[in-house]
Amino acid sequence: MSHDLLVRLILLLPLAGAVLLGVLPLFMPALRRREGLIGTIGTSVVVIPFAIATYLFVSYGGDPVTVSYFTWMEAAELSVDFAYRIDELSLIMTLIVTGVGGVIHLYSAGYMHGDPGFWRFFAYLNLFIFAMLNLVLANNLVVLFLGWEGVGLCSYLLIGFWYTDLKNSAAANKAFIVNRIGDFAFLMAMFLIFSELGSLSFDVLLTDAASVLSAETIDYIVLLLFIGATGKSAQIPLFVWLPDAMAGPTPVSALIHAATMVTSGLYLLARMSPIVLETEVVMMIIAVVGALTAIMAATIAITQNDIKKVLAYSTVSQLGYMFMAAGVGAFFVAIFHVLTHAFFKACLFLGSGSVIHSMEHVEHDLEHEGEDVSDFDPQDMRTMGNLQEYMPSTGWTYFIATLAISGIPLLAGFFSKDEILFKAFEYGYDGNTYAMFVWVVGVITAALTAFYMTRSYYLTFMGEERWPLADKIHPHESSWKMTVPLWILAGGSLVTGFLGLPAVIKDGKWNWIHHYLGANYGGPVAEASVSAHVPGSLEWGLIGLSSAIAVGVFFFARSMYLSQGIAFDVSLKERLGGLYELWEHKYRWDDFYDNVVVEALINQISRDGLAPFDSKIVDGAVNGLAGATQESSSLLRRIQTGVVQNYALALVFGVVLVIGLMIFGG
């Protein structure tokens, strides 16, 4: 079948789902309760594109295929088409989006069961898939931007999904606005590219740009694109929206705020890799910002008690790893980590959703028993414990994903993270001091990651039951609609790492993802070249080091939290003192934004400054002028009768007089 039709189907099915599920039930409330129908439609419009994408993947011949449907905007030298591009990079991303997306849709049918907004939820999710596919399949920056802002919109709608709680809506607004700050930079990058190149199409951009553009222009372009990416992919200083975004239903956190949308910044950099590679200085900024974000978020994650907040900061941290990879010119490794992360982080989020679901049942049961549940938080790990016994599927899959993200050898996260660290080391070995710095930070962060994830697993699934009436009230495993997706994702967390075996094995010939994406092998993703190669023995040593760190920290944290439970947090806090407090308060970023930026802009400048200025000074001047005219002229005073009709008469009279003068006087 033709690509033209297939890409059309991939894009239009989710859109059709969104329109159908969004519009019909809005006007026909009776349809809103048809969960089976809604869930089936909503899930199939993602699963069918996944099947099509699989076919495209299998039949892909090695040469990029572009399809163009119609002209979006055309004026003078500007011409933007709805054009899409199928190549290795977009295929991998499409498979992740529709594959993980399809699984999460299935999960949502179970998770959102009984919610009055079930229909809206699936409409938004479908719309998200449509936007995300535009983002990864676009063949020009403007269509990519359509997807970019579209996923931001869906994120906004889904974070604020339970809108009756204003806190959720506030988090949604925050996400949208912070993302828009990034989008501002993205727009500026497009303006700059267009004014220099006269085109925004990847056909031109990826072939000519690096040779045509001046070095300075490339610096600006890449810097602006990177700022755009810090918004969407939650890096310093724009990461603050992502932890708050956990206000949305958990499948949303898994799909949008872990597996797909937040990785679009990486996708953007990988797509633009031929240009990004041209600017050493901005790449350094990217790598350092990624490293700082990674370690910052990891330290915060240690102090969080909300199971989803741990995962949220963990996501920020893992995204930091991906930026480290991009910053040392290993874009294909960044995409590799996007892929493995999509599996284990989605698995963790969905697992946490399963936990939250059953803790909500506990809350419900407690209420039934006449307990006061006003302080009960179904997301707080301090009220959980020993859930492995009641929820074996959730527990096992969460455990597998925990091992994967911690970098335990042979699981997915081990390979991708290790490759990132190796690339940083290799770049550093080649003489880049900043890359060495990035490597050191990355290794420390790896230890922190193993620590906080192990903590999260043992606090939640092992130890004592810590909710009230624990002997009487028991949590239950979730339905198959939720556990089957968990096992699928856990399976991915086990095996996807083998797609990118380290270079030391078989000289890198078994690194499939490198061979598939890499420009050296005809793929679309460029990579930095290094002159000084790390000897094989040293590479084995590095692998040994990361393995030892991951395993060591895992067993340390395991024994501490198994033996002491939450008490270990207290002793940790005592030992670390002010540092721990800084982590607990998230380095006070939110305080800074709320009390300085928002306060200054909204309250001091706008409310106390501009608004009174507008009514008193700008308008006052006008009124004053009018008043002065009135005072000074007795003639005017007589005319100013205040009767509406007189003014109108005067007006008409004036017009007639003028015309009359012209006709007869001229």
- Please report, as residue ranges, which positions from 140 to 169 form the binding site for another protein (by CB under 8 A): 142, 145-146, 149-150, 153, 156, 160, 163-166, 169
> Residues 227, 268: contact at Cβ < 8 Å?
no
Tell me how far apart the alpha carbons of residues 17 and 42 are, in angstroms, rounded to a whole number: 6
The pair of three-digit structure tokens given for residue 419, joined into one six-digit string: 């490759």
In the complex, minimum distance from the CB of residue 441 to another protein, in angstroms, rounded to a whole number = 31
The DSSP secondary-structure symbol of 66 reads E
Question: Considering the rule CB under 8 A, would residue 611 count as an interface residue with another protein?
Answer: yes
Q: Which of 16, 24, 51, 187 binds another protein (CB under 8 A)?
A: 187
Q: Which of 177, 197, 505, 572 binds another protein (CB under 8 A)?
A: 177
| Paired sense of beta strands 78-86 and 65-75, if any | antiparallel
Question: Considering the rule CB under 8 A, would residue 659 count as an interface residue with another protein?
Answer: yes
Question: Considering the rule CB under 8 A, would residue 505 count as an interface residue with another protein?
Answer: no
- Could you tell me which of 90, 38, 97, 95 has the C-alpha nearest to residue 64? 90
> Residues 141, 205: contact at Cβ < 8 Å?
yes
Question: Considering the rule CB under 8 A, would residue 636 count as an interface residue with another protein?
Answer: no
Question: Considering the rule CB under 8 A, would residue 599 count as an interface residue with another protein?
Answer: no
Residue 330, strand partner residues: 527
The pair of three-digit structure tokens given for residue 81, joined into one six-digit string: 């088409």
- Could you tell me which of 208, 228, 210, 211 has the C-alpha nearest to residue 286? 228
Tell me how far apart the alpha carbons of residues 281 and 411 are, in angstroms, rounded to a whole number: 34
Q: How many residues bind another protein (CB under 8 A)?
A: 65
Q: Which stretch binds another protein (CB under 8 A): 42-50, 271-279, 390-398, 645-653?
A: 645-653
The pair of three-digit structure tokens given for residue 449, joined into one six-digit string: 């990651």
The pair of three-digit structure tokens given for residue 260, joined into one six-digit string: 């797909």
Looking up tokens 């936990």 gives: 355
Question: Considering the rule CB under 8 A, would residue 58 count as an interface residue with another protein?
Answer: no
3 state DSSP class of 72: strand
Q: Which stretch binds another protein (CB under 8 A): 454-462, 502-510, 576-584, 639-647?
A: 639-647
Question: Considering the rule CB under 8 A, would residue 655 count as an interface residue with another protein?
Answer: yes
- Please report, as residue ranges, which positions from 18 to 47 form the binding site for another protein (by CB under 8 A): 26-27
Question: Considering the rule CB under 8 A, would residue 593 count as an interface residue with another protein?
Answer: no
Q: For 616, how many CA atoms within 13 A lie in the half-sphere containing its CB?
A: 6
Tell me the DSSP string of 478-496. PPHHHHHHHHHHHHHHHHG
Question: Considering the rule CB under 8 A, would residue 194 count as an interface residue with another protein?
Answer: yes
- Please report, as residue ranges, which positions from 76 to 105 form the binding site for another protein (by CB under 8 A): 76-78
Question: Considering the rule CB under 8 A, would residue 516 count as an interface residue with another protein?
Answer: no
Question: Considering the rule CB under 8 A, would residue 653 count as an interface residue with another protein?
Answer: no
373: Cβ contacts below 8 Å, ≥ 6 apart: 363, 366, 367
Q: Which of 605, 628, 636, 657 binds another protein (CB under 8 A)?
A: 605
Name residue 181's amino acid. I
Tell me the DSSP string of 222-247. HHHHHHHHHHHTT-TTSTTHHHHGGG
Question: Considering the rule CB under 8 A, would residue 180 count as an interface residue with another protein?
Answer: yes
In the complex, minimum distance from the CB of residue 555 to another protein, in angstroms, rounded to a whole number = 47
In the complex, minimum distance from the CB of residue 2 to another protein, in angstroms, rounded to a whole number = 23
Task: Specify the residue, 58 or 166, whose C-beta has the smaller distance to another protein.
Answer: 166
Q: Which of 30, 58, 635, 644 binds another protein (CB under 8 A)?
A: 644
Looking up tokens 């999509």 gives: 342
Which residues of the shown chain bind another protein in the complex (CB under 8 A)? 26-27, 70-78, 142, 145-146, 149-150, 153, 156, 160, 163-166, 169-170, 173, 176-177, 180-181, 183-184, 187-188, 190-192, 194-195, 601-602, 605-607, 610-611, 614-615, 618-619, 622, 626, 642, 644, 647-648, 651-652, 655, 658-659, 662-664, 666
